[in-house]
Structure 1
């Protein structure tokens, strides 16, 4: 059954998360440096038990965490999400030894994780990866990684990377293997990239970086399955992040338009303003419901998770862009002043329409899934 509303326990937990974000996480986030990993913030998330919950609960819980934190502290939300994205492949596909070594450090906030999929020539087209994993005939077996990764969140400051490399040339998605690569591995270097978004993003260079069978996540040649399995979980939660930002912008707009006097009365009494606010609320709630439905489908092992995940991510991120932009318009110039909530959200809201599959990619996934399952009874499609 699709969950179209939260139970009282979930509602209370979301309120608790918002309070934690305001009282304990926001002050730590404010001390961070834009473009750098805020390790005290990651440690605070671990101390509060939120990082451990990434790996002990389902997709709906993940979405509720991301939405709730995003309403109050996007920096805390992003730090949490990046830990989950980078380490989920270890949790879901790693060996017992890999999980035992890394997951306690990730959940404590002691080790920072990163998901290294994108490359200079392979962003949305993830099957076109060029990072090579050549057989290491001179060493003790395994492979040598040679090439580049780019637009990697938490790089170059992460402690471990989930890296996707081509082990079989010319095999497309079938020739990719996922590796767990510690940051101190010889031949691995990185540089930060100065981006619009405030969280850290960088490039990685692999100069014959050694990896062995002990570093493989899942099975050799099945790395694309690891990547897509991770993205099917995290795409709806990107939507939840977007819904949280949209809600924060909507809340700010309600307060501003109720109190701001213009043309002989409060802004809210102008029909053009009140109708705009109503549209913002309508779209935000529609996106929220689609995110919850996609997360519930994932938790129930439904057959149509790729389509639902893509729909949720697409609708929510496009909606958030619209709502934040409308909020800026209704606030006027003050919203673009450095340090204003909406100035911050305006910078944050753009990137989710690109990362973890751009909006155009989500549309392609949706169409592919629709045609693949056309004519089949509902629920009969293979996952």
Structure 2
């Protein structure tokens, strides 16, 4: 059975939650409808005319891409312009376009982590160059009969609650006595209508991040035996987990700048890179950022990185970095193409778990606009 487009969007938002996106970023559904069965998805970096033709040949009626096709509100759609012709072709062939951009950059296991993995940045101590989103923390308190304490705790843990730093399954339980009187029309798990009951209960307290609080509450309510569940959810003044742009960390093995440049070329399958710095200089700590990262040179230096690997470095930024002793490797913006295979693999696995027959393929076309002559 084919998955619905809305289901695929929900899966993408598990990988790259929409609230992780930088403010003003154009993400999500940009054209068409998701309210339809999807026989095939095409994953692409850019949505060009050639990529749309590829989708038509493949029989894909949804393109999941990284770069947006609509950047600002449209005053009109003129089908004599390149953009207008693109929109017209997509609409005529009933191909929807869904975008995951900066939310896919910053998410754990997204583009910046894929870049870091390919270049050998160790997992331990790896951090973002700039925080974009911090998950607010809440305290969930629920009152449960003793007989169901373990069941409710387990349901909350399974939903992702109860994590503090690198510790999980964290909770606090206090024993006490609960009182209630079931009214007319109730069907109480314990007690009788009109009769005051005193029941041995436990108070369970658990930390719940804002990003999962709805799912955690639903899981708790499903596991709880009462018709009317007494629970509280309130914010706490503690910092939650943050996600951000770029990654920085120590290399698993130190290399020279020249060796790292060759590694970058091989990892991202690019014919050349632009390098700022002495090729024999040692590199122990590395920063990476997919796309345009010129404004993150200072962030990288402040984080203690020897080198920043990013795209679209301009002349003056290169001179400033050189003067400050910061090295740069610029493999271009198009290295973000690594998202094509990885998103396709991720979606394929998630759809298989749902026993969906929707196929996911990735674009084999290069959308690199530059040629080296």
Q: TM-score, normalised by structure 1?
A: 0.27
| Larger radius of gyration between Structure 1 and Structure 2 | 2
| RCO higher in structure (CA 8 A, sep ≥6) | 2
More helix by proportion, 1 or 2?
1
Q: TM-score, normalised by structure 2?
A: 0.27
